[in-house]
Structure 1
Amino acid sequence: MEEVKEVKNKWLPHLIDAVPTAGQGKRISTYTVALEGWRRGITLKFYRIYDDEYKMKIRYSLSHNGTEHHFSLSMGDYNTDESFEICDDKQLTREYMEKAGVPVPKGKKFLADRSNEEIIDYANSLGYPLALKPVSANGGKGVFANVIDEEALRKALPYVREELEYPDVIIEEHVPGKREFRVIVLGDQVLGAMNRIPANIVGDGVSTIKQLIHMKNEIRKQNPTLQAE
């Protein structure tokens, strides 16, 4: 029996029906930031650019009292190229965090010219369980946590490096934990934090796993930030 409970979107009052369905999902940050600026009387302008492959990208700017800032999704022009470079390289991120006194797991980066055997030798010296992840990827793509032994690593390495085409990888200690947090920081001030909960289902004693997944996905679709484009 597949009964999907109705879940109503929770919007701030001034955003109710303000964002069209086509603008939800991954694009919702564009509309909510832009609309909030416009609501506060800041001049809003949408425009388009073309990337190196001549694909059209939507951008917008907010201007007030002679000052104008440009945005891509929720990212403003205060985000420097250096910050993007650091965030795009997990090893660089580790190094900067370590310099700032943030505890990080022991690990090492291996580029495409390093063999799987070299990586396995290092993993064996580091000890299990460990984590395998691409140097440059996002959304959890290619990440294997809690790799328990050499056999599991031998299966995961060719999958990540060859099938997913992420030849540069990081091997590091697996640090157990139940939560992942995304922290929003402006300067030296923490503006907010989000608990990112992995995909999960809870049995009801009746439905199959497939049915439970379907029901959960139907509920997720009603979240404007998770809707598919």
Structure 2
Amino acid sequence: MDLSSNNFSGPLPKDQWFKNLASMIFRGPLTSLVMDHGVPDSFEAYKYTTSITYKGHDTEFAQILTTLVFIDLSNNAFSGGIPEAIGELGLLHGLNISHNSLTGTIPSQLGHLRQLEALDLSSNQLSGKIPQELASLDFLTTLNLSDNKLVGSIPESAHFSTFSNSSFIGNDGLCGPPLSKECINRTLPNVVPHPHHWKKSTDIMLFLFAGLGFGIGFAVAIVVAWGIPIRKRF
């Protein structure tokens, strides 16, 4: 679905509208691999073609595979928040809502898009923190959250750390890697000692005290044993 580079304004469609995109939620077993339009009373079919911005590049598709599920709403004047229902489009591979006037926070439901490969929410007015759920999207190779009003620390994960500084610039309130700005008053997680470790530490302390006591007692015994003959001589 490509509605990019128009003059659309107002809020994005309500949640129920996105829930009606059934082919982005479930793919039927008889679905063709290539999008086409069959000619009535004929065995011929027209193949659809398109040119979209995918993973940050203008890409032309001579044939559109039905496995490529993509939404491009960029370069418009959409306002309001990002609908949470987008998180139910489990087959979505790419989502581009950049260069609009969207406000509010990034829905944590986007973390349910396990097949998402490209996410571009740049050049909006999104605020709040980056949801930790986005750090678990293992197939995400292109991420652009730049030029918003996001705050807080960037989620940490082995996969999320592969994104460059350009994915987050233009958010004065963000901090942490890969940005050079460090987070102030970063709280470390409270580590509760495990009972087994506590018992092991206690055993070590008892062993040290027992050893120290044995050593002192042994030294005193030697001193006493050598001291008695000396007194008898005198």
Structures share fold, TM-score greater than 0.5: no
- The interval holding the TM-score normalised by the smaller chain is under 0.3
- Greater RCO structure (CA 8 Å; 6+ sep): 1
* Structure (1 or 2) with the greater helix fraction: 1
**What is the TM-score with the length of structure 2 in the denominator?**
0.21
